[in-house]
């Protein structure tokens, strides 16, 4: 088992009621889990708890939270530095926001690689270019010379994904990685993301509010509502036999595409 999360709860602020309660899930190596649910249901909170990066005075408790044999709540700051960006990495809704607009993509990508490895500048640059090529970005040298504002949203997301998978993480966390993109680009990026993770045995947790995308990508689904899990299990089982009324309603709302239901 790569990741075990049992009875996770998260609160923002000491005397506040918990935002997320009783969340449990399991992930094997290379498996894809999609977390689905309406805005405010706690999806981002779950992802951030896994990264130990809850903002706003957030703190979590869990019966168990094991990643690759390591007990996450007990890790030191230096353990976290070794883990983040390497074994455990993250893709955001718009990778452009994560990057510095006044430095070229190349400078930031090379720095990122050098922070997490012993590679020299030239080798780091070559690796960055190779990762961009792997994400179907033509002319990687051009992109490395560019600034984030010079790229389209889809290209920025591909750069973000390229960075996140550079060190073949065991687990990739993706928080609505395509929701800022147009539908055609979304579909491409989803396909590429799946291809690169499946190809390297990287497991992924992807937050999305698109149940169609989730069903297409994920081995397992977790449906959240008001900070709780209302359905969790293998994707096909949930699609065929959803337990909660909420999931049933979500499934009814998935549009048919070209006469075929997308799920
Ligand atoms: N930094 C924070 N401080 C206080 N409350 C927060 C913070 N982040 C999220 N919340 C609250 O937690 C709840 C769940 O938010 P979130 O995890 O972002 O949901 P989702 O990603 O499903 O939209 C929301 O009610 C939100 O207001
Ligand atoms: Mg969110």
Kindly report, residue by residue over 168-200, the tens digit of the pLDDT. 999 999 999 988 888 888 888 988 999 989 889
Separation CA 141–CA 130 (nearest Å): 10
Ligand nearest to the CA of residue 42, numbered in listed order: 1
pLDDT at 253 over 90: no
pLDDT at 260 over 80: no
Whether residue 12 has its Cβ less than 6 Å from ligand 1: yes
**DSSP state string for 94-122:** -HHHHS-TTS-HHHHHHHHHHHTS---HH
Q: Which residues contact 85 (CB under 8 A, 6 or more apart)?
A: 112, 115, 116, 167
pLDDT at 134: 92
Q: Is the dihedral of CA 195, 70, 62, 13 positive or negative?
A: negative
Atom number of ligand 1 nearest to Cα 46: 17
pLDDT at 31: 96
**For the chain, what is the total number of helices (H) and then of strands (E)?**
11, 13
Kindly report, residue by residue over 107-123, the tens digit of the pLDDT. 999 999 999 999 999 99
- Who wins on pLDDT, 225 or 198? 225
Name the band, by pLDDT with cuts 50, 70 and 90, for residue 258: very low
Whether residue 48 has its Cβ less than 6 Å from ligand 1: no
> Mean per-residue pLDDT for 50-65?
92
Ligand nearest to the CA of residue 40, numbered in listed order: 1
- C-alpha distance from residue 162 to each of 36, 89, 135, 138 (Å): 24, 11, 6, 13
pLDDT at 94 over 60: yes
pLDDT at 26: 98
CB environment 116-152: b (16+ within 10 A), e (fewer): beeeeeeebbebbbebbebbebeebeebbebbbeebe
pLDDT at 149 over 50: yes
Contact 47, 205 (CB under 8 A): yes
Whether residue 167 has its Cβ less than 6 Å from ligand 1: no
Whether residue 41 has its Cβ less than 6 Å from ligand 1: yes
Contact 254, 238 (CB under 8 A): no
**Terminus-to-terminus CA distance in the chain, angstroms?**
28
Name the band, by pLDDT with cuts 50, 70 and 90, for residue 259: very low
pLDDT at 55: 86
Percent of the chain scoring above 90 in pLDDT = 73
pLDDT at 69: 94
Whether residue 93 has its Cβ less than 6 Å from ligand 1: no
Distance from residue 227's CA to the centre of ligand 1 (Å): 9
Report the candidate in 163, 182, 172, 166 with the shortest Cα–Cα distance to residue 203: 172
pLDDT at 257: 46
Average pLDDT, the chain: 92
Q: Which residues contact 187 (CB under 8 A, 6 or more apart)?
A: none
3-state SS string for 24-63: EEEECCCCEEEEEECCCCCHHHHHHHHCCCCCCCEEEECC
Q: What six digits make up the tokens of 129?
A: 């270019």
pLDDT at 261: 52
Distance from residue 63's CA to the centre of ligand 1 (Å): 22
Kindly report, residue by residue over 7-46, the tens digit of the pLDDT. 999 999 888 899 999 999 999 999 999 999 999 999 999 9
């Amino acid at each position: 088992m790569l990741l075990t999360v049992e009875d996770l709860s998260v609160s923002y602020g000491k005397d506040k009621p918990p935002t997320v309660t009783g969340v449990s899930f399991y992930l094997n190596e290379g498996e894809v889990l999609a977390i689905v649910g309406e805005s405010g249901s706690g999806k981002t909170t779950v992802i951030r708890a896994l990264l130990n990066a809850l903002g706003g005075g957030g703190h979590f408790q869990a019966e168990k939270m094991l990643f690759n044999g390591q007990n996450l709540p007990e890790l030191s700051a230096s353990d976290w530095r070794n883990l983040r960006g390497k074994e455990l990495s993250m893709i955001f809704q718009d990778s452009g926001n994560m990057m510095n607009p006044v430095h070229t993509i190349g400078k930031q990508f090379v720095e990122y690689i050098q922070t997490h490895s012993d590679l020299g500048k030239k080798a780091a640059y070559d690796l960055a270019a190779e990762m961009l090529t792997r994400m179907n970005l033509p002319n990687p040298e051009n992109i490395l010379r560019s600034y984030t504002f010079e790229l389209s949203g889809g290209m920025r997301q591909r750069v973000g994904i390229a960075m996140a998978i550079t060190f073949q993480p065991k687990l990739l966390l993706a928080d609505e990685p395509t929701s800022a993109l147009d539908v055609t680009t979304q579909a491409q990026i989803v396909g590429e993301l799946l291809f690169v993770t499946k190809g390297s045995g990287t497991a992924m947790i992807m937050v999305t509010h698109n149940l169609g995308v989730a069903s297409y990508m994920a081995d397992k689904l977790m449906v959240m509502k008001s900070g709780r899990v209302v359905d969790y299990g293998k994707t096909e089982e949930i699609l065929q036999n959803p337990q909660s009324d909420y999931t049933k309603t979500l499934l009814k709302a998935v549009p048919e595409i070209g006469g075929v239901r997308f799920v």
